[in-house]
Amino acid sequence: MSSERVPVELSKGVNGLEKIILRETRGSSAEVYLYGGHVTSWKNEHGEELLFVSSKALFKPPKAIRGGIPICFPQFSNHGPLEQHGFARNKLWSIDTDPPAFPTNSSSKAYIDLILKPSEEDMKIWPHSYEFRLRVALGPGGDLMLTSRIRNTNTDGKPFTFTFAYHTYFSVSDISEVRVEGLETLDYLDNLLNKQRFTEQGDAITFEAEVDKIYLSTPTKIAILDHEKKRTLVLRKDGLPDAVVWNPWDKKAKAMADFGDDEYKHMLCVEAAAIEKPITLKPGEEWRGRQELSAVPSSYCSGQLDPRRVLQGS
């Protein structure tokens, strides 16, 4: 097999915003907008969309795109003084034509490197100099890999501290038929109850109301089992100890202008994150956080999905 890189396609997306299309030879694909460094599409080799993007998403700066994978940096949600989820998701990123060596999985032939650096205006809001490099790659089996490298380039000797999330919106057939495996019995902070700490009880997580929880010190692998589609979405992560689970449910859905009233039934956010213990970087230091998504057929046996086969695999 040749290790040659597949050329990426540059194209105009919604409202003329520039996007990059990655295609893997077996047919899977992904799309990334320069606006937000935002992945808006990930399709398997049958052309099926695995991410959710709202039909009402605005694709209009300064509002972040509703769906796909917004990048939350340098602040998750309202856990700090900055705007909700930080500013990276509503900045225009650039293509990084000459990224430093990338010591990871070299089997991907379809990838793009993006970079975000602060403008003078940005530094009035967050007075730090940084280089945020994002690689979006499609693996040969259609896996979607996102790697973030954030470097402190302050010249005043000051460290900075941030929280982070890959705010991934998965597409699901019916939220009431979905189970999440890998978070049971863990501690979480409940965003709906003043970030109070609780311990998840019992079995796999299922959904019958609004949920907005930050699970702490989570395993590196989390599975989202979609009963109806007989598909399991597997999230693997590195450098990101926490995992946010969010579904707005009906009332909050109605309150969001860029989200359809019934769309909550067809999406679920599971977000690899670093929130409880913020990351601090001294000048010259770099942090790395990686998320890898794959979609596999679920095993189905007498009415029960068998997550062990997913969670025990490599």
Ligand X SMILES: O=P(O)(O)OC[C@H]1O[C@@H](O)[C@H](O)[C@@H](O)[C@@H]1O
Summarize as ranges the residues that interact with ligand X (CB under 6 A): 64, 77, 84-85, 167, 191, 212, 244, 246, 269, 271
Whether 271 and 168 have beta carbons less than 8 Å apart is answered as yes
The question of whether 38 is a catalytic residue gets the answer: no
The rounded distance, in Å, linking the Cα atoms of 250 and 111 is 37
Looking at the Cβ atoms of 42 and 87, the one nearer to ligand X is: 87
Looking at the Cβ atoms of 187 and 286, the one nearer to ligand X is: 187
Question: Which alpha helices (H) appear in the chain, and where do they start and end?
Answer: 120-125, 249-255, 308-311
Residue 66 annotated in ligand binding: yes
The rounded distance, in Å, linking the Cα atoms of 85 and 201 is 28
Whether 102 and 123 have beta carbons less than 8 Å apart is answered as no
Q: Taking the mean position of all CA atoms in its chain, how far away is CA 10?
A: 22
CB of 288 to ligand X, least distance (A): 21
CB of 251 to ligand X, least distance (A): 12
Catalytic residue among 38, 79, 85, 167: 167
Distances (CA, A) of 250 to 107, 195, 208: 42, 21, 11
Catalytic residue among 24, 31, 181, 271: 271
Looking at the Cβ atoms of 198 and 300, the one nearer to ligand X is: 198
Q: Taking the mean position of all CA atoms in its chain, how far away is CA 128?
A: 24
Backbone phi and psi for residue 89, each to the nearest 5 degrees, phi listed first: -75, -10
Residue 5 annotated in ligand binding: no
The rounded distance, in Å, linking the Cα atoms of 134 and 47 is 25
CB of 36 to ligand X, least distance (A): 11
The question of whether 83 is a catalytic residue gets the answer: no
Q: Taking the mean position of all CA atoms in its chain, how far away is CA 17?
A: 20
CB of 109 to ligand X, least distance (A): 32
Strand runs (DSSP E) across 94-241, as ranges? 94-95, 110-116, 130-138, 144-152, 160-166, 169-171, 178-181, 187-190, 196-199, 211-215, 221-226, 231-238
Residue 236 annotated in ligand binding: no
Looking at the Cβ atoms of 225 and 269, the one nearer to ligand X is: 269
CB of 74 to ligand X, least distance (A): 15
Report the amino acid identity of residue 233. Answer: L
Token pair of 241 as six digits = 């100890």
Please report, in range form, the residues annotated as the binding site for substrate. 66, 84, 89
Please report, in range form, the residues annotated as the binding site. 66, 84, 89
Q: Which residues are catalytic?
A: 167, 271
